[in-house]
Structure 1
Amino acid sequence: MPSVLSNGRSRGYIEVLQLIRQKDAVIFTFAFPALLTILLGLIFDTPVMPGSPTTHSQVFAAGMIAYGILSTAFISMGIGIAVDRGDGTLKRLRGTPVTAGAYFLGKIVLVFFAAIFEVALLLLVGVLMFDLPLPADVSHWVTFAWLMVLSVVACTLLGIAASSLASSARSAPAVLNLPVLVLQFTSGIFVHIAALPSAMVNVSALFPVKWMGQGFRSVFLPDALASEEVAGSWEPGRTALVLLAWCVIGLVLSLLTFRWSRR
């Protein structure tokens, strides 16, 4: 019998082909976070501090990478699985050697493929329109790499688990977009985190979005801006631990809540 790894790899290849063939979905999925970055950057194009060369638009451009991953992984996965469950795709897959683990692995392959292009587009917008500085040293790019991996895995697994909350494919966008929209504001992605009430930030610190945004800001912004964060530092170690914990939580929730067919 084929292994979970080989089945997952094959399933991931099929998922990527299906995404590429839906050209309208690809364009709008990738363009939406980039459009929001442009709008926020143009509206808040002012220095973070008097005399600082860093602008709020650069802060938003760095933090919006977290939203791009969340949109590509959590929302797209949740809706996609709800559609697969509603049209009977998952029910048919259950009669094949594809296990739940292989199906999850295929989804992660798809998200990594999509997230790479999404993040590249957001960086292109940030660099060309808002002069977002790219790191010149290897250590920052290493931080970017593990942030990308942990963020994609955590958001994908949480998206798989959240797909069970939607009773149908029609209700999935409403169910999944609401928590994402709330977390963008409370986690300092759409609003500068220094302007948020402490109680709101403390609640958002329980979720991965706040740490994703803080982590990506630490990669692309000067170290002097760490003082603008809640703890006064970038906290890379705590960021890694929180995201790793959410990867484990997402996997457990996915295995516990995943269903091959509708109720």
Structure 2
Amino acid sequence: MRRLRGEALRHGVAAERGAALETIQSLESPLELRAAVRILEGEGMGGNLVHGERDVRKALFTALARDEAFGHAELVRHALKGDDAVSLLARDLLPEELSPQALAVVESGLRSSRELHINRAAMIASAHTAAALIPALIDAQFEERSAGGRGDEAWIAIGQRTAYIAGYVPVLGDGSGALQPIPGILYEGSLLRIMESAVVIYRTEVHRSLAMVIERTTGQPAPPLGFDRDQWLAWYQREYPALVQAFAEEKSESDAAAVDTVTVPARSDA
């Protein structure tokens, strides 16, 4: 793989490059795929061909799409952390039903410290109707962060400033005199001392993804619980399983009725 990267992909002619891309696309074993990802991404030394060259990216991702464990998990990783072009291709090649390894990466993305990764993880969860990720989506839609640190966080002055003449300084000249005014400033208002603060984040993208997953797995709109984590978790534990079971039974009966329906051709008098 290092030889393919250094010779065929970097300095080879069109035929050699095409053969190298076919070799990458035909990789199957997890060991081969791991090596390909590590080497084509530059092994931490720069020159990331996966991000920089479209044909290399497509060949590698096509090979990853055939492997349910490592391959699908890697596609999710690129979908979460890659640039727009990388993320889009990785999402397009993901299967309709994600493997447990891929779901674990999505769940990790929902706990990320970066908002972009969280929103992308929520997008993947809703696109693939990942019911197993509902608890993680509930947790991710709302977050409260403390600023932390020591000492005061801010001083805020609120009020108005008024100028006045505080005094005069005599100025004497040849046969003349004058007074130079000394300006003063008067502040009136309040001084706020911020000792503690908290940041509350409401992630509407995650909230919408949660609602979509619930609607697709229960056949009913999501409950209007807003961003209340405790109410969501209580609803998920008490009501969600019964809704899923009822929806599955209704769908099964509908499918059975469709199979039992017999179409009788119209009789012709001819």
Q: TM-score range by the shorter chain?
A: under 0.3
- Structure with the higher fraction of residues in strand conformation: 2
